[in-house]
Amino acid sequence: MKQYKNFIDGKLTDSRSGRTYENRNPANWDEIVGIFPKSNVDDLNTATEAARRAYKKWRFVPWPKRSEIMRKVAEIMLEKKEELATLMTREMGKVIKETRGDTQEGIDTALYASIEGRKYFGYTLPSELPNKSCMTRRDPLGVWGLITPWNFPIAIPTWKIFPCLLSGNTAVIKPATYTPACVGELAQILQEAGVPDGVLNVVYGGGGEIGEAIINHPDIVGVSFTGSSEIGKRIGEICGKTLKRCSLELGGKNGQVVLQDANLDLALEGVLWGAYGTTGQRCTATSRLILEAPIYDRFIEMLKKKAENLKLGNGLNEDCDVGPLVSESQRESVHAYVEIGKKEGAKMITGGEFYTEGECAKGWFYRPTIFIDVLPTMRIAQEEIFGPVLSVIKAKDFEEAIDILNGTVYGLSSSIYTNDLNRAHKAIERAETGIVYINAPTIGAECHLPFGGMKNTGNGHREGGWTAYEIFTEIKSVYIDYSGALQKAQIDTWD
């Protein structure tokens, strides 16, 4: 067990509140991973002031110099990959092979940032007047508030921290209360790599206190948030009142379509990974399986057998397939949706109960669950469950499958399995999602591509890739007149 402190202005600092909370292992609730400060507004104000002071110098550090620090971050993370992955499994629960992947995504994001710092281009454009040039550049905005979720304790914080800092901003980050330790360790890595004091500050605490203080703070110029659509709407509303920059990455109700001409074995592997990887606790998790009618019964039989063979257990065991849910309340929420599905008339063919055998008795485990004969309008087919519950829906043909796929308020990720090239391209065109996979599950984003969705999944900004830097910078247009005379655009003519 480790005692953690806030990280403010380069120093580990006790909270002025004097309050603390325990972070426990969801696979074994008897194990305390760490003790964390339950911070208050005074702590947030101190961190924001430190970030504001640091911004005055950090913004003028050349992009390539900042990119060198990101390269060092990647190198340190690579050295500590197994250590970080083990910590993540202990505090979040997902299996070790996934937390290694989560950590690797953070490493890849740092490496990508180290490249982006040497090539973040502006535009050079022709002027309509002689002896005059035009160009654009991107400048930082100031102090950012970063609010991260618990399901990807390394990857998602790096998605926000690295482009934010590389762009010349400074930041205050509030990690998720269920998974605060990984961000604490990440902050130490950034300091070791050479990030100056005050550039990144970590304040632990709840969303109701620290989160609210971040979105309402007058010196915080932008907020980047990943979480539920309900909370995202509130953040967008508050930020809108003061024109604070706001990036929202929100919920999903992702569907995998399987057509009768598909490779069914491949599609089966995809849906098992998409639905039950991370115990279904991904915004891109496969929550709906849409099967073309001719293969409906056969595929369900294949799916049920495979799902029941998945091994549940402590994620540190290399042979486990599915870890626990992150908390008791999350397990109760998942189970409540299972009861809703039963009442709505869907047929549950496996799962639907707590798993308490052996070592799992002390954790928040839930059996992988499958509902069949689900109607597209049912709540379990419309609302984000965030757990190992899969709703199977029958479609008479390709056209109906796409209609069902698009028939939710979310639009994050979609998948279609088919060997028909024409239908694959039609699906790409018609899917109302920010991410489309062909013959692959709804999960598996890569750090150098934009990540985000449509509809209630966000407000149009994208994380990942070059687009992540757009939200953290402001475009500045520059005109250079070397004519030695006053030239009036759109008024003077050139002969």
- Give which of 313, 304, 306 is closest to 356, Cα–Cα: 313
Residue 191 CB coordination number (10 Å): 16
Alpha-carbon dihedral angle through residues 400, 402, 408, 414, given to the nearest 10 degrees: 150
Same domain, 170 and 266: no
- The yes-or-no answer on residue 249 being catalytic is yes
- Span 118-136, pLDDT tens digits: 998 899 999 999 999 999 9
d(CA 244, CA 143): 11
Same domain, 192 and 281: no
d(CA 460, CA 45): 29
Same domain, 177 and 246: yes
The enclosing domain of 103 has a CATH number of 3.40.605.10
* Total structural domains within the chain: 2
pTM of this prediction?
0.97
Same domain, 80 and 179: yes
Q: Which two tokens stand for residue 162?
A: 């690295």
Residue 445 lies in a domain: no
Q: Which two tokens stand for residue 267?
A: 């599609």
- Residue of 98, 209, 249, 292 marked active site: 249
Same domain, 270 and 416: yes
Under DSSP, the state recorded for 210 is I
Which stretches of the chain score pLDDT less than 70? 493-495
Q: Residue 232 phi/psi, 5° resolution?
A: -60, -40
Same domain, 157 and 112: yes
Same domain, 138 and 239: yes
Same domain, 187 and 274: no
Same domain, 119 and 96: yes
Q: So what's the pLDDT on residue 495?
A: 60
- Taking the alpha carbons at both ends of the chain, their separation in whole angstroms is 78
Angle made by CA atoms 433, 145, 46, in degrees to the nearest 5: 170
Q: So what's the pLDDT on residue 34?
A: 98
- The yes-or-no answer on residue 239 being catalytic is no
- Residue of 283, 320, 360, 447 marked active site: 283
Residue 484 lies in a domain: no
Same domain, 405 and 319: yes
Residue 493 lies in a domain: no
Residue 489 lies in a domain: no
Chain length of the chain: 495
Run of H or E including 170 = strand 170-174
d(CA 165, CA 125): 28
Q: So what's the pLDDT on residue 1?
A: 81
Residue 482 lies in a domain: no
Same domain, 178 and 40: yes
Q: Residue 455 phi/psi, 5° resolution?
A: 55, -135
The enclosing domain of 289 has a CATH number of 3.40.309.10
Q: So what's the pLDDT on residue 493?
A: 65
Q: Which domain holds residue 372?
A: 254-438
Q: Which amino acid is at 486?
A: L
